[in-house]
Chain A
């Protein structure tokens, strides 16, 4: 069993409170996670500047090289993990064991995180819009066009309260390190593996240990990270989103409600886009905020829903080490059952039809001794106002909603990733103007196909730095 201590800006700390972490299917205790306290976090954060100072002693170009080295180590090497060490395959096996995510998806998420690390120079160049590194290092400098700019760090460390649902979310905070901002991480109680592994890869690649803290723990730890870091990101449900909305110190990541919209100009050829729709719903077992949970069109919606249902309805849970395993287990007791009940209730409403039932040959909820599965579910909604028309669940679930094109943008509400399948210039302009869509894809881009050179729910550079005025000579007379 792995014994995983707290990391306090590089120093390991053995807590007196340890939380066992169990295999979702066998019930075997596979790790024990040392538990931090809020007081510990708050005390450490009083010295957070040391993390930034240690990173600022290293040029950004060198930090990028460290990221690239770490990318390879994280993906390919055996690295320390608490009291032991893990090869990549062992890492995937354990990550799967505690999260319920199939091993092949754990490996895919590793590749995703590694890709971002290995392309960090391009990522930074894109997110900073080509800013010379010197500007971030010194705090000011001249752009290539000769204009003086200043970027002031808003925090010495980036706080984060991380989720369990998908290891892919870690891509979001990786650029902080090469921007010389330290990390104060509260990992998920089941998916703590990735932050620890990436950290070990960073250390092995030469990153100063005092740059990163990892505090597993309870709500008081999360609270301390959120209140005492000058900038922090948190993942949670809609309640969390509402709670932190408008707080400039907090970057909140909630349900994505990501969608595919078929324009009137192409919807008669919807079969051409079936793969885009199916993959957007199904990839990563539907666990991500970038998975498509709504498909909106003005006509053919029942046929679209039926076609997706034919593809996804027969999918069954497989053992987590099966390379073809495509469904993740629900490891929190009662969670799958609660969702299943909600969906059943929604399906009893007029205008709502479950399309997958006839292709599934079994019930949606599969209960096991220690975990549950929810099998893919496709719902047809006759309009945007019926229940389940704007819903997201953490499994392959999608509502196909019939709605006139001119009403769609007013009805879809907040949408993290919106893929619009249209060639209509007027509709395209309306989509570009729609402020309720965060990441906009126009064309055959699956909602899960993120380009890491694009910002995600706000630009991390703008979050961690303040672009402010700076002058070292008087302006020209005027």
Chain B
């Protein structure tokens, strides 16, 4: 926690107060979430069963966020296979549910049951978008993975929430991973072209598309194609892009802003996954030298940057560690999941008065064996 000292400026003092308030809210939210997920009347079959294996009573012994360290780490393998219904809290029984998947190129994918979380996450995210570049009522292009992916429905909801309609493309990332693993680079490129063809068709059809979600690679591919056609993202009518889904480096961000998009198109990086939801990037500031810092949507989700050898120990600010995620919504409780990424711990920001993370990239122990950024 940040504690102001006598010599600190009012801004620092104010930030410390904001951070303290956020911490209190997080503690309260943690308590409520644990009560919900572990109470016999509202909890999910999964957590009620799991609680029987613990040597502590979550209902009585988890009173604040730090108490979550009493739980063993969440193993994402638990998400493979069914029955999916074991994840539905009794308190939400009977509501229409979705299932979103991650992975799945081979074998059984990890599944997350969702009822309304993706809507809530993206409605909260919507509040961070500047209306100037994401005009309300304008239509959207969703240039990312389709199928059993959270992104597709979430972005569509974002568009609807902001009064627009979302146009989507067909994109199966599992097929792209298979092509790359077989060394079929040309076929993967052809598939990318196929996706861009779909996007260009939408953009050329007079649908008043002004906003878009794009993965960095597809944004790049679309921008290049438009340049080849003597046009640009800006000329296509798009004013605001929120990008995410794959690694987003500062240099790429810079090339994107300075050379691919130009000054008329706003781009905001995001970081997230099916389990956590969506972390926003700190607003662009030239003084940051294109450093991208993400902040989780606390208190619904929390990002910690922890030591590689002790996942319960935070690293110092500016130090490198592995990403640890917590999700605490009515629909899903994840008390510390070790993400396959690493990065540097960042100080709270006035807009997001809690810890952030920058420089996210594949966890170095996995980086050499993982096929990343396929779409």
Q: Which residues of B contact A43 (CB under 8 A)?
A: 224, 227, 255, 259-260
Q: Scoring A residues 227 to 257 as 1 if CB is less than 8 Å from chain B, else 0, what string do you get? A: 1000000000001001100010000000000
Whether A57 is near chain B, meaning CB under 8 Å from some CB there, is no
Q: Known interface pairs A16-B289, A16-B290, A243-B183. Does A42 touch B220 (Cβ–Cβ under 8 Å)?
A: yes
What would be 28 A-B contacts, judged by CB atoms less than 8 Å apart? A15-B251, A16-B250, A16-B251, A16-B254, A16-B289, A16-B290, A17-B251, A37-B251, A37-B252, A38-B220, A39-B224, A39-B252, A39-B255, A39-B259, A39-B260, A40-B255, A40-B259, A42-B220, A42-B224, A43-B260, A46-B224, A46-B227, A223-B185, A226-B185, A227-B185, A227-B189, A239-B183, A247-B186
CA distance A38 to B259 in the complex (A): 13
Task: Contact check, B228 vs A46: say whether CB atoms are below 8 A apart.
Answer: yes
Residues of B within 8 A of A17 (CB): 249-251
Binding site for A on B (CB under 8 A): 183, 185-186, 189, 220, 224, 227-228, 249-252, 254-256, 259-260, 289-290
CA distance A326 to B250 in the complex (A): 43
Nearest CB in chain B to that of A244: its residue? B185
Contacts of B189 in A (CB 8 A): 227
Q: Nearest chain A CB to B245's CB is how many angstroms away?
A: 16
Contact partners of B249 in chain A: CB under 8 A = 17, 37
Q: How far is the CB of B44 from chain A (nearest CB, A)?
A: 41
Q: Which residue of the partner chain B has the closest CB to A242?
A: B183
A227: chain B residues at CB < 8 Å are 185, 189
Residues of chain B within 8 A of A15, CB atoms compared = 251
Q: Roughly how many angstroms separate A38 CA and B290 CA in the complex, as a whole number?
A: 18
The 6 nearest A-B residue pairs measured at CB: A16-B251, A17-B251, A16-B250, A243-B183, A39-B220, A39-B255
Q: Is A441 an interface residue (CB 8 A)?
A: no
Dominant SS among interface residues on chain A: helix
A42 CA / B259 CA spacing, docked (Å): 11
A239 CA to B180 CA in the complex, in Å? Answer: 13
Smallest Cβ distance from B326 to chain A, in angstroms? 30
Contact of A35 with B by CB under 8 A: yes
| Closest B residue by C-beta to A227 | B189
Q: How many residues of A contact B (CB 8 A)?
A: 18
Q: Which residue of B lies closest to A218 (CB)?
A: B249
- Chain B residues with CB under 8 Å of A226's CB are 185
Across-interface contacts of B251 in A (CB, < 8 A): 15-17, 35, 37
Contacts of B220 in A (CB 8 A): 38-39, 42
A interface residue numbers (CB < 8 A to B)? 15-17, 35, 37-40, 42-43, 46, 223, 226-227, 239, 242-243, 247
> Is chain B's binding surface mostly helix, strand, loop or mixed?
helix
Kindly report which residue of chain A lies nearest to residue B289, judged by CB atoms. A16
Please name 5 further chain A to chain B contacts, defined as beta carbons within 8 Å, in addition to the given A42-B224, A243-B183, sorted by A numbering.
A16-B290, A39-B224, A39-B259, A43-B227, A43-B260
Which residue of A16, A35, A40, A243 has the most chain B CB atoms within 10 A of its CB atom? A16
Residues of chain B with a CB closer than 8 A to A37's CB: 249, 251-252, 255
For B252, the chain A residues whose CB sits under 8 A away are 37, 39
Task: Report B-chain residues with C-beta under 8 Å of the C-beta of A242.
Answer: 183
State the CA gap A16–B260 with chains docked (Å).
17
Complex Cα distance A17/B183, Å? 27
Q: Please give, as numbers and ranges, the residues of chain B lying within 8 Å of A16 by CB-CB distance.
A: 250-251, 254, 289-290
Q: How far apart are the CA atoms of A309 and B177 in the complex, in Å?
A: 47
Query: Judging by beta carbons under 8 Å apart, are B256 and A39 in contact?
Result: yes
Q: How far is the CA of A371 from the CA of B186 in the complex (A)?
A: 36
Q: Which residue of B lies closest to A38 (CB)?
A: B220
* Complexed CA–CA distance, A42 and B183 (Å): 21
Question: With the chains together, A227 CA to B193 CA distance in Å?
Answer: 13
Q: Which of B183, B224, B251, B256 counts the most chain A CB atoms within 10 A?
A: B251
Taken together as a complex, chains A and B put the C-alpha atoms of A17 and B189 apart, in Å, by 26
Question: Which of B185, B250, B255, B290 has the largest count of A CB atoms less than 10 A from its CB?
Answer: B255
B residues in contact with A239, CB < 8 Å: 183
| B162 nearest CB across to chain A (Å) | 29
> Please, how many angstroms separate the alpha-carbon atoms of A16 and B288 in the complex?
12
Q: Which residues of A contact B255 (CB under 8 A)?
A: 37, 39-40, 43
Q: For residue A40, which residue of chain B has the nearest CB? A: B255
Q: Which residues of chain B are within 8 angstroms of A223 by Cβ–Cβ distance? A: 185
Most buried by B among A38, A39, A223, A247: A39
Neighbouring A residues of B185 by C-beta, 8 Å: 223, 226-227, 243
Interface centre among A37, A38, A40, A223 (most CB of B within 10 A): A37
Shortest CB-to-CB span from A282 to chain B, Å, is 33
Question: Distance (Å) between the CB of B229 and the closest chain A CB?
Answer: 12
Q: In the complex, which residues of chain A have a beta carbon less than 8 angstroms from the beta carbon of B290?
A: 16
CA of A226 to CA of B186, assembled, Å:
11
A226 CB, nearest partner CB in chain B, Å: 8
Q: Give CA–CA (A229, B311) in the complex, Å.
A: 46
Contacts of B254 in A (CB 8 A): 16
**Complex Cα gap A39–B224 (Å):** 9
CA–CA, A50 to B255, complex, Å?
Answer: 21
CA distance A43 to B254 in the complex (A): 13
Nearest CB in chain B to that of A226: its residue = B185
Q: How far is the CA of A359 from the CA of B228 in the complex (A)?
A: 63
| B192 CB to nearest chain A CB (Å) | 10
Q: How far is the CB of B178 from chain A (nearest CB, A)?
A: 15
Closest chain A residue, CB of each to CB of B259 = A43
Q: Residue of B at shortest CB range from A247?
A: B186
- Considering the chains assembled together, what is the distance between the CA atoms of A223 and B224 in angstroms? 15
Task: Say how far A120's CB is from chain B's closest CB, in angstroms.
Answer: 34
Report how far A43 CA is from B251 CA in the complex, Å.
14
Please measure, in the bound complex, the distance between the C-alpha atom of A240 and the C-alpha atom of B42, giving whole angstroms.
56
In the complex, residue of chain A having the shortest beta-carbon distance to the beta carbon of B256: A39
* Residues of chain B with a CB closer than 8 A to A39's CB: 220, 224, 252, 255-256, 259-260
- Most-contacted residue by chain A among B228, B254, B256, B290 (CB, 10 A): B254
> With A and B bound together, what is the CA distance between A46 and B183 in angstroms?
26
Instruction: Give the docked Cα–Cα distance between A40 and B254 (Å).
Output: 10
Q: How far is the CA of A226 from the CA of B250 in the complex (A)?
A: 24
| Chain A hits for B260, CB < 8 A | 39, 43
Residues in B neighbouring A35, C-beta threshold 8 A = 251
Query: What CA separation (Å) do A46 and B289 show in the bound complex?
Result: 27
By a CB distance below 8 angstroms, the chain B residues around A40 are 255, 259
Q: A43 vs B225: C-alpha distance in the bound complex, in angstroms?
A: 11
Distance to closest chain B CB from A405 (angstroms): 37
Chain B residue nearest in CB terms to A219: B373
CB nearest neighbor in A for B224: A42
Minimal beta-carbon separation of B362 from chain A (angstroms): 12
